[in-house]
Amino acid sequence: MIPVRGFDGANVAVLGLGRSGLSAARALRAGGAEAICWDDNQAARDRAVGEGFIVTDLSKNDAFQGVARLIVSPGIPHLYPEPNRIIAAAQAAGVPVDNDIGLFFASLGLGEWDQFDVTPKVVAVTGSNGKSTTSALIHHILCEAGREAQLAGNIGRGVLDIDPPGEGGVIVLELSSYQTELARSLTPDIAVFTNLTPDHLDRHGGIGGYFAAKRRLFAEGGPDRAIIGVDEIEGRFLAGQMMESSGDERVIRISAGQKLNGGWTVTARKGFLAETRKGRQIASIDLREISGLPGSHNHQNACAAYAVTRSLGLAPRLIEDALHSFAGLPHRSQLVAEIDGVKYVNDSKATNADSAAKALAAFGKIRWICGGLEKEGGIGGAAQHLDNVVKSYVIGREAATFALLLKDHPHSICTTMAEAVKQAAADAQPGETVLLAPAAASFDQYNSFETRGDDFIQQVQRLSA
């Protein structure tokens, strides 16, 4: 655990008692603060009471009297589309609002690291797509190299639940826009921006607010090194803002398709990763046969992880060996089975059109299982890759409405996962791929994309039972 510093003897309110909220309450208590907790869910409140925390309805009048700060869980809106009523009450009372990420950065180290010859590092990864895989891949490479590493944030453990790092230890954080937008302290040693595509626009008041939330990791944090995907205009803009000159090696630009000039770059073109520095190629890696990283979108993730681990002093050959042993993440281009020459791939994490488009581009001859709670923009860019799709199988409570987005493309309205897998399996021919890449949120039928992916896996397993 990372005890929270700076609130010894103070009352700190905690709103939302899921993983991050309870973790923050425990870390506040470990640092000498009194955590005053609230969640609209009775079961969550009962868990907090069971751990000995004070539970008080923070919506009551004068609830913030004597409170030093309000710590908010990431899923609770604080600005758009409108502030949660309790956050609004805290703001009206003049109580600063923060989250567990801000507490983490404000509390980590603080003089205890003077004993180390090699100071621990924090790597923070944000972006629209690929940040989970990139974070996990960085962690995997470091572990394979024998370096002490911990994975936390949106993936792995809560940031305040991790162990204090040791000599030369590395903490790898995956951070969402919800987390970067609110954190009062953001001071990573290395910051990574993968890409930007429209998502969570209602929460951020549009694409500009969404980008601004991501940009805070760099503008507020002032990392020693910034690794930035430049395949979108926002990434190119951010890289330009961070660089002092074209040869500034504090910024490493990455791309999954472009040839980049000047400075320190890592690119993946036609399946080959290349590191170039001061106009000279340093290393090259063939990514095409790395089973855990299929498709150009995963090649971009490989570029980002390579750039981070090179910045931390690892040799190219060691990184290449570790890439080959990476198994990938559940629900992200996950090969579930191969039955009678047909591959079944679970990419339930493809909850928006852009991430689905990347999955569709990674495979050929696809039986596409799609649908769910439609996001703004519909299937958007995914429609550009329908040439790879033999037929679509639409799931979700509003499957018929979602199917209208496919227009004249061959499709079947299945509604349930069981029916979609059954029909796709019956239609599929050897050499084809049955791909779950919904291009939609899961919440019409499932409580998470993980649950949706698990259902897909179970239905596939029944095919060979």
377 pLDDT exceeds 70? no
Consult the annotation and say whether 176 binds a ligand. Answer: no
Consult the annotation and say whether 128 binds a ligand. Answer: yes
**Cα 168 to the center of its chain, rounded Å:** 25
Count Cβ atoms within 10 A of the Cβ of residue 429 and give its class: 0-12 exposed, 13-18 middle, 19 or more buried: exposed
- Torsion over CA: 131, 136, 140, 143 (sign): positive
Single-letter residue type at 174 = E
Q: Find out whether 346 and 457 touch, Cβ atoms under 8 Å.
A: yes
Which residues sit opposite 215 in a β-bridge? none
- Mean pLDDT computed over 323-333: 90
**80, two tokens:** 């758009």
Domains of the chain from N-terminus onward = 11-98 (3.40.50.720), 103-324 (3.40.1190.10), 334-463 (3.90.190.20)
Query: pLDDT tens for residues 390-430?
Result: 999 999 999 999 999 998 999 999 999 999 999 999 999 99
Distance between CA atoms of residues 108 and 113, nearest Å: 9
Closest by CA to 399, choosing from 416, 383, 387, 384, is: 416
Counting Cα atoms < 13 Å in the Cβ hemisphere of 317 gives 0
Query: pLDDT tens for residues 33-90?
Result: 999 999 999 999 999 999 999 999 999 999 999 999 999 999 899 999 999 999 999 9
Distance between CA atoms of residues 442 and 444, nearest Å: 6
**308, two tokens:** 């981070």
User: Helix 19-30 vs helix 100-107: angle between axes, to the nearest 10 degrees?
Assistant: 30
Single-letter residue type at 66 = G
Q: In whole numbers, what is the pLDDT of the chain averaged over residues?
A: 94
- Mean pLDDT computed over 443-448: 92
pLDDT value for 297: 87
What does the buried/exposed string (b/e) look like for 363-373 if buried means 16 or more CB atoms within 10 Å of the residue's CB?
A: beebbbbbbbb
**278, two tokens:** 């001061």
Q: Find out whether 353 and 380 touch, Cβ atoms under 8 Å.
A: yes
Parallel, antiparallel or unpaired: strands 342-346 and 433-436:
parallel
pLDDT value for 379: 78
The position carrying tokens 């095409």 is 288
Q: Find out whether 45 and 39 touch, Cβ atoms under 8 Å.
A: yes
- Mean pLDDT computed over 148-168: 93
- Mean pLDDT computed over 4-26: 96
Consult the annotation and say whether 261 binds a ligand. Answer: no
Consult the annotation and say whether 132 binds a ligand. Answer: yes
Q: What percent of the chain is predicted at pLDDT more than 70?
A: 99
Single-letter residue type at 181 = E
Query: pLDDT tens for residues 91-145?
Result: 999 999 999 999 999 999 876 788 899 999 999 999 998 999 999 999 999 999 9
354 pLDDT exceeds 90? no
What does the buried/exposed string (b/e) look like for 222-259 if buried means 16 or more CB atoms within 10 Å of the residue's CB?
A: ebebbbbbbbbebbbebbeebbeeeeeeebbbbbbeee
SS3 178: helix
Q: Which residues are within 8 A (CB) of 97 and not within 5 positions of it... i.e. 6 or more apart?
A: 69, 70, 71, 72, 78, 87, 90, 91, 182
Consult the annotation and say whether 129 binds a ligand. Answer: yes
231 pLDDT exceeds 70? yes
pTM of the predicted protein model: 0.87
Consult the annotation and say whether 229 binds a ligand. Answer: no
Q: Which residues are within 8 A (CB) of 218 and not within 5 positions of it... i.e. 6 or more apart?
A: 191, 193, 226, 238, 241, 242
Consult the annotation and say whether 235 binds a ligand. Answer: no
> How confident is residue 282, by pLDDT bands cut at 50, 70 and 90?
very high
- The dihedrals phi and psi of 351, each to the nearest 5 degrees, come to -90, -5
pLDDT value for 464: 84
